[in-house]
Structure 1
Amino acid sequence: MYILIVLGMIAGMMIPMQTAVNNRLTFFTKAILPTSFYSFLTGSVMLFIINFIMDPGKFTISFFETQSFSYVWFGGGILGVIFLTGNIILLPRIGAALTVIAAVTGQMVIGILIDTFGWFGAEVKPLHFMHIVGVILLIAGIIYMNMKKSSTISQSYSRLWILFGLCTGMMPPIQTAINSELRYEVDSFIYAAFISFLVGTIVLFILAMCVNKGIKLTRTSGDYKLKPWHFAGGILGAAYIASNISLMPYLGVTLTMMSTISGQIIMGLIIDHFGMFNLPKYPIDQRRIVAVIMIIGGIALLNFF
């Protein structure tokens, strides 16, 4: 159990790294949707190669003839795009801190509901009072970590936008549950991750063509030159989704999301502290340390009860 939680945290650490890498790629695409498209495309290509080497039979006509192509084939990828697009819409309206808080709160609420009622084929795990305490402690830690930033915009945000953020924040746990069900349908968590990425790539291509009128990519941007590592975001994202699909049946949706969120926050602190990926430095202070302790405490309560 503890090893799986650590693996979940490591998987979560890939998300801030993916965001930082994609941020650099945006210099060359000049827009968020094309950046996300190239990120998804890279992940799709990598997952295709892995799947083709491991089990080429899953790409034959006879394999597809045996499939029902239910909603689980398409739901995960579409939900991932909804979450991404929702964050893009929210960020300029309520700021980064409240966007994160709203999304995480939505993830926690829907994660507990999925575990408690066994939605999307998830194993039923009875709700315990300490589970609620753990979620409250984790959310309190996230709010405390972002308190200074959120207070500067507390007078201007809209309650409707916060509610919208809660709804879009519910997408990742549902995506994980659907992808886990797809895993059993295709008998491979790596293949399930590929399908999710492929659907997301197609949806993002359509969105980019409609919104940005193309998916342009320049080789230079000022003093910066396009390098291979700028496309690593897709690989990191693919590893994250594959990890979630493989962990969810053993940890449950709630604990899987808790461990990955903790990993995201820890890696975010490391990136900020050292200014990795040429980002501004924000040294770790007492407030951030206390917040991380609160978050880890919330995960512990979810694990022990």
Structure 2
Amino acid sequence: MPGILYPLLAGIFIALQTVFNARISEKIGLWETTTYVHIVGLIVAASLMFIFGKGSLGKLNEVNRLYLISGAFGVVIVYSIAKGTSLVGVSLSISVLLISQLLVATLIDIFGLFGTEAIKLHFTKPLGLVLMIAGLIIFKLKG
């Protein structure tokens, strides 16, 4: 059950962060918000690492160089979702985020990309994606 609680918690905080970042960016600007969010995140993450961390930053040299760009992904994520939210609203932004995230995650699973174990594609996965996209279209329709 804890395996489900972490993504649930992440989903809640993504929705909240989306709105909060959009509000901050209205006052200080989008790049400034992106920078601020990452500075606060660095302070919190570093504090938690010093208190609870059991790993070793010294082993970063053992990590595939490709994976080290993941920190830059956070910049793209924060900027893009804040910009999208300001243009199309929270619910549509999060809906598109979820569908694109699930699509990419499915491709990673199917092809075993980035060191993951390949998972056989069952017809329910593409069907689920199609239903999500259909749901997004229905959700977006003006009533």
**Normalization by structure 2: what TM-score?**
0.75
1:5/1:58 CA distance change after superposition, 3 Å: closer
- Matched to 2:40, the amino acid is T
Matched, 1:24 2:23: yes
Conserved in 2, the CA contact under 8 Å of 1:101 and 1:143?
A: no
Q: 1:45: which partner in 2?
A: 43
Cα distance in 2 for partners of 1:83, 1:111 equals: 16
Which residue of the other structure, out of 134, 142, 149, is the alignment partner of 2:136? Answer: 142
2:61 corresponds to 1:67: yes
Name the SS for the 1:128 alignment partner: coil
**1:9–1:145 CA distance, 2 compared to 1 (3 A):** farther
Change (3 A) 1:144 1:5: farther
- Could you give the per-residue CA deviations for residues 208-252 of structure 1, whole angstroms, max 9, x where no partner exists? xxxxxxxxxxxxxxxxxxxxxxxxxxxxxxxxxxxxxxxxxxxxx
Distance 1:4 1:143, change over 3 A: farther
1:36 pairs, out of 34, 37, 41, with: 34
Partners in 1 of 2:46 and 2:67 — Cα distance? Answer: 18
Q: Give the Cα–Cα distance (whole angstroms) in 2 for the partners of residues 46 and 88 of structure 1.
A: 21
Classify the secondary structure of the residue corresponding to 2:61: coil
Instruction: Kindly report which structure 2 residues correspond to 1:5-16, keeping only aligned pairs within 5 A, or say none.
Output: 5-16=4-15
Contact 2:99 2:132 survives alignment (8 Å): no
- SS for the counterpart of 1:33 is helix
Report how far residue 52 of structure 1 moved.
Answer: 1.6
Q: Which amino acid aligns with 1:71?
A: L
Provide the C-alpha distance between the structure 2 equivalents of 1:34 and 1:10, rounded to a whole number of angstroms.
26
Question: Of the two structures, which has the highest relative contact order with CA contacts closer than 8 Å and spacing of 6 or more?
Answer: 1
In the alignment, structure 2 segments of 5+ residues that lack a partner are: none
**Superposition RMSD in Å:** 3.1
TM-aligned CA distance change 1:131 to 1:56, over 3 Å: closer
Pick one of 73, 83, 88 that aligns with 1:79. 73
Note the 1:187-198 alignment, pairs <5 A.
none
Paired AA for residue 51 in structure 1: M
Q: CA deviation at 1:104?
A: 3.9
Report the 3-state secondary structure (helix = DSSP H, G, I; strand = E; otherwise coil) of the residue aligned with 2:56. helix
How many residue pairs match? The answer is 140
CA distance in 2, matches of 1:19, 1:101: 12
Normalised by the size of structure 1, how large is the TM-score?
0.39
**In structure 1, what residue type is equivalent to 2:4?**
I
How far did 1:102 drift?
Answer: 4.9
Measured against aligned partners, the alpha-carbon deviations of 1:12-68 in whole angstroms (never above 9, x if no partner) come to: 011121122223333542x01101211111011111011122348835xxx25x723
- Distance in 2, matches of 1:15 and 1:71, equals 25
Deviation of residue 4 (structure 1)? Answer: 2.5
Once residues 57 and 91 of structure 1 are traced to their aligned partners in structure 2, the CA distance between those partners, rounded to angstroms, is: 36
One-letter amino acid of the structure 1 residue matched with residue 62 of structure 2: S
Match of 1:236 in 2: none
Q: Which amino acid aligns with 1:68?
A: E
Tell me how far 1:131 sits from its aligned partner: 1.4
1:121, distance to aligned residue in structure 2 (A): 1.2
Give the greater-gyration-radius structure (CA): 1
CA contact (8 A) 1:116 1:126 kept: yes
Task: Say whether 1:106 aligns with 2:100.
Answer: yes
